[in-house]
Amino acid sequence: MISTKLTELLGIDHPVVCAPMGAVSGGTLTGAVTRAGGLGLVGVSYGDAAFIDEHVARAAEAGGVWGVGCVMFTFDDRPGLWDKVLGYAPPVIALSFGDAAQVRKYVASAADAGSRVVVQVHDPEQAAVAVAAGADVLVAQGAEAGGHHRTQATLPLIPAVVETVGGRVPVVAAGGFADGRGLAAALCLGADGVMMGTRFAAAEESLATAGFKSRLVSARTVDTVNTHAFDVVRGIDWPAGHPARSIGNDFTRAWTGKDAELAARRSTVEPAWAEAVARDDTSQRALFAGEVLDLISDIRPAARIVHDVVDEAEEILTGLARRIASLTA
């Protein structure tokens, strides 16, 4: 068993976190990851009150150490949803994508409610703000991640954030992780665990549709593209500098780089697009996925994903220790 500052702080068995992916990380996936000894997080950022009542309630009923992931700027635009989340008393609240004032506001509110607070950051400056605000854990997310991200790559980002933190809080690495090799590498870089999104989207328990899961298995990393098109067509005003990595399809090929035109034509484009999404038309729908697609070739139970990652990492680290010992003997 791999014990780190993350597992000790949260009281979990394994330093593996399921990313709180909106419309993918529901209560069933969250409970499965938690029961396997990791940290499951319900993604509620684009959910309405009914989604929260269904999926956060399901995670709460499952018990254990679980949490809820909230995109801060979207909660500012949805009055009442934050209090609804807090009403379920999640042991962990994971916050992402907010300015310094939002970080301070939501960290303080979550801590006052009794939750451990995880804050996702994308550079050392954001890390310093989050720690000063009282975050219990940081997630250092690199540009290899699926969905929304910033520009700094994961490999240099992790040690930079670890140095900024100086051991005050655990650091979780995100963006480019799907197996035990990634966990072992993250630990060697000073992180205390990994957060995985795309690998858990391809879990049996995820809310991803059949078409989405099929593309997660068949697509390769070279098929991904950074785009704002899905945010524009949905009318979601993401802050500048946050593209979303998705598997490319007919919609991204038609609209990536044409944000202003798409915004002007949204009233006519969005209804047909929404109908295609309802049909699970993968040529049109958003297929958020990271640069780990080359490492994903099957749909597995979430518990098996957690255990496979940890077992492989333990084997790698043990072998590395033996190799170093033989070289220094």
Burial 184-213 (b: 16+ CB within 10 A, else e): bbbbebbbbbbbbbbbbbbbebbbbbeebb
> What backbone phi and psi angles, to 5 degrees, belong to 169?
-140, 155
Token representation of residue 314? 């333990």
Angle between helix 100-112 and helix 124-133 axes, rounded to 10 deg: 40
Say whether 139 sits in a helix, a strand or coil. strand
Dihedral class, residue 69 (left if φ above 0, else alpha if ψ from -120 to 50, else beta): beta
How far apart, in Å, are the Cα atoms of 313 and each of 176, 184, 187, 190, 298?
Answer: 15, 5, 9, 15, 20
pLDDT at position 329 is 65
Query: Do residues 34 and 68 touch, judged by C-beta distance below 8 A?
Result: no
Q: Is the dihedral of CA 205, 207, 210, 216 positive or negative?
A: negative
Alpha carbon dihedral 21, 168, 103, 245, in 10-degree steps, equals -30
287: amino acid identity, one letter: L
Q: How many CB atoms lie within 10 A of CB 4?
A: 17
- Give the residue carrying structure tokens 């946050």: 242
Domains of the chain, earliest start first: 5-207+296-328 (3.20.20.70), 220-278 (no CATH)
Query: Do residues 246 and 227 touch, judged by C-beta distance below 8 A?
Result: yes
Angle between helix 154-165 and helix 124-133 axes, rounded to 10 deg: 40
How far apart, in Å, are the Cα atoms of 308 and each of 1, 10, 199, 312?
Answer: 12, 21, 12, 6
> What backbone phi and psi angles, to 5 degrees, belong to 48?
-95, -175
Report the distance separating Cα 107 and Cα 130, nearest Å. Answer: 8
Q: Mean pLDDT of successive 10-residue segments in the chain (329 residues)?
A: 96 98 95 98 89 95 96 90 96 97 98 98 98 98 97 97 97 98 98 98 98 98 98 92 97 97 97 97 98 98 98 95 78
Query: Do residues 105 and 70 touch, judged by C-beta distance below 8 A?
Result: no
Residue 9 CA, chain-centre distance (Å), reads 20
pTM of the model: 0.96
Report the distance separating Cα 125 and Cα 47, nearest Å. Answer: 30
| Residues 6-65 pLDDT 10s | 999 999 999 999 999 988 999 999 999 999 999 999 999 877 899 999 999 999 999 999
Report the distance separating Cα 117 and Cα 111, nearest Å. Answer: 7
- DSSP single-letter state for residue 219: -
How would DSSP label each residue in 14-61? SSEEE---TTTS-HHHHHHHHHTTSBEEEE-TT--HHHIIIIIHHHHH
